[in-house]
Amino acid sequence: MRKPIIAGNWKMNKTPAEAVALVKGLIPLVADAKCDVVVCPPSVCLPAVAEAIRGTNVKLGAQNVHFAASGAYTGELSAEMLKAVGCEYVIVGHSERRQYFGETDKTVNLRATAAVKAGLTAIICVGELKDERVDGYTNAIVTYQVQMALKGLTAEELDHVVVAYEPVWAIGTGLTATDEQANETIGVVRRAIAAVYGDDAAQKVRIQYGGSMKGANVKGLMAQPEIDGGLIGGASLKAADFAEVVNF
Which residues pair with residue 90 across a beta bridge?
62, 122
Which of residues 14, 59, 94, 111 is near ligand 13P by CB under 6 A?
94
Using CB under 6 A as the binding rule, whether residue 19 contacts ligand 13P is answered as no
Which of residues 78, 212, 217, 224 is near ligand 13P by CB under 6 A?
212
Active site residue 166: yes
Using CB under 6 A as the binding rule, whether residue 52 contacts ligand 13P is answered as no
Using CB under 6 A as the binding rule, whether residue 167 contacts ligand 13P is answered as no
Which of residues 231, 239, 243, 245 is near ligand 13P by CB under 6 A?
231
Handedness of CA 128, 114, 121, 59 (dihedral sign): negative
Marked catalytic residue, from 94, 96, 103, 128: 94
Marked catalytic residue, from 96, 103, 166, 226: 166
Q: How far is the CB of 230 from ligand 13P (least distance, A)?
A: 8
Long-range interactions of 28-32: CB distance < 8 A, separation 24+: 29/239, 29/240, 29/243, 29/246, 29/247, 30/57, 30/58, 30/242, 30/243, 30/246, 30/247, 31/56, 31/57, 32/247
CA distance 80 to 114: 10
Which of residues 39, 58, 162, 232 is near ligand 13P by CB under 6 A?
232
Active site residue 94: yes
